[in-house]
Amino acid sequence: DGGITQSPKYLFRKEGQNVTLSCEQNLNHDAMYWYRQDPGQGLRLIYYSQIVNDFQKGDIAEGYSVSREKKESFPLTVTSAQKNPTAFYLCASKEGNSPGLTEAFFGQGTRLTVV
């Protein structure tokens, strides 16, 4: 079945450490996204990529980094510069043609906790 796989589902990080969240899709979608979800704040866009080897900052990119070396993969690194990284992280993808018209497909999320 086609879909988006995020791993791990739960992740614990010590303060000062970088950590990488995985996102893989087999939907052949061009566009991929990372969102952060905090209670009562909805989803906020961290980074997005509309094509391989290109990505753009979203609304809250500080303290995060991404890469897009393959169409299927869009890993997110939460760096030690992110002041408050504890949150639920969601990866999504969309078709590239007429992206405004198409819906985003979401992974199951990764819950990151800083200990």
Partner 1 sequence: AQSVTQLGSHVSVSEGALVLLRCNYSSSVPPYLFWYVQYPNQGLQLLLKYTSAATLVKGINGFEAEFKKSETSFHLTKPSAHMSDAAEYFCAVSDNRGGSQGNLIFGKGTKLSVKP
The residue (of 16 and 100) whose beta carbon lies closer to partner 1 is 100
Instruction: From 12-20, 33-41, 68-76, 79-87, give the range in contact with partner 1 by CB under 8 A.
Output: 33-41
What are the beta bridge partners of residue 114? 13
Query: Site for partner 1 (CB under 8 A): which residue of 2, 42, 83, 84?
Result: 42
Query: Do β-strands 19-25 and 31-37 pair in parallel, antiparallel, or remain unpaired?
Result: unpaired
Q: Residue 59: CA atoms inside 13 Å, Cβ hemisphere, count?
A: 7
Q: Which amino acid is at 59?
A: D
Binding residue for partner 1, selected from 22, 63, 65, 109, defined by CB under 8 A: 109
Cα of first residue to Cα of last residue in the chain, in angstroms, is 36
Which region among 16-24, 50-58, 62-70, 79-87 touches partner 1 (by CB under 8 A)?
Answer: 50-58
